[in-house]
Amino acid sequence: MRTRKLAVVGGFEFTPDVHSDHRGLFFSPLQDEAFVAAVGHRFPVAQTNHSKSAKGVLRGLHFTATPPGQAKYVYCARGKALDAVVDIRVGSPTFGQWDMVTLDSESFRAVYIPDGLAHAFLALEDDTVMSYLVSSAYQAELEHAIDPLDPEIGLPWPNHVEFRLSARDTIAPRLAEAEAQGLLPKYADCLPAGPPAAPAVHPDQSEVRTRD
């Protein structure tokens, strides 16, 4: 598992080893040891989500009110997408900055999005399937959106794609408007509390096998 820090504080990219043979392939998108080594704590999975999108579908920028917040671990199980992460945490040293990662069903790289970051992706192929691990259950009243085409953020979406947005995302406020409305999370409220948890221990196994 290879890791890379994103341009926003607390965000990471993870690229697993993909094992292929005549049967197909196998990979492990989330690996506890690598995640803890990079992030400093374990990922608390509370729910898994799955979406399928046609080419041109742009979902986001979405975030959850903090507290309680919601962290995400996202990868592309099928197809190809541009995945964007924007720091909207008021007081963050990287406030307003973003990073973008190509997620696809060849590299199977994943993106970790901690509390307080806004997330969006653009499907570049039909039937693009995105898989999410999230740290809290969905609560509609806590979910917010920011205009993914906000020129002040300046995400470099490709200009040859005809965007397909939901009604909610079409009318979402720009970043400055959301800040003025008091919707944005505060950086201090998004920091993890307590010491990092150790990886799981397997006392009866000298080697933990993950590949069939």
Cα 40 to Cα 103: distance, rounded to the nearest angstrom: 24
Verify whether residue 62 is a known catalytic residue.
yes
Name the residue among 25, 119, 106 with its Cα closest to residue 71. Answer: 119
Q: With contact defined as beta carbons under 8 Å apart, do 82 and 123 qualify?
A: no
Beta pairing, strands 143-145 & 110-113:
unpaired
Catalytic member of 22, 50, 62, 138: 62
Name the residue among 114, 119, 112 with its Cα closest to residue 98. Answer: 119
Region of 202 please: left (phi>0), alpha (psi -120 to 50) or beta.
beta
Catalytic member of 73, 75, 119, 132: 132
Verify whether residue 132 is a known catalytic residue.
yes
Residues with a catalytic annotation lie at 62, 132
